[in-house]
Structure 1
Amino acid sequence: MSAETVAKLIRVLIDVGAYKVPAPSLVPLPSGGVQAEWHFLEQSIEIGVEAGGEIFAYASDVDGVSVVEMEDAWFIPNDQAALLKQGLLLYARRVGGRGE
């Protein structure tokens, strides 16, 4: 994974408010990208950047129902970003993190 890929993931995480929640697990991808993950019971949130710069995101609610699924994007649309922010704040409250 390149420094540019990591830097883009950091920018995306800042954009969706991930700095307000407990740190994610960071997972290097076989493609050369990197992914941030949060998991708690049935809730999952995954945000990543491929080596070519494409963004992908997935989020499920507390029942495991998918609320965000996007791939091969160059930015996260406002409606999807709002859902990711909401999911991250819910995650933080559930695990006792900041979630301000």
Structure 2
Amino acid sequence: MTTEPAAGAATAGDSEWLTELASALDITDVSPADRIALLKVARQVAHGVCRPAAPLTTYLLGVAVGRGADVQTAATAASRLVAGRPSSTGAEPGR
């Protein structure tokens, strides 16, 4: 029996990949708290909106951060939007 990491927690593989990618993109300031916040939002969106929206959401959060927004503030705004939506059946938009 395997156990899954806590919601929003990065696994060793995730952490290794994110460190490698950040280095390749010349990003040096990705904190563990930011990683957890982004994973939490992606999970909320995947389950509360639809799965394909999760990576697109994290992309848009990245754009916002690139334009000067704080990661935690942007993640909180996205989480609030998801929480304010009616429950989703998980169906993709247009289906």
TM range (shorter): 0.3 to 0.5
Higher strand share: 1
Q: Which has the larger radius of gyration?
A: 2
Structure with greater helix share of residues: 2
TM-score by length of 2: 0.35
Normalising by structure 1, we get a TM-score of 0.34
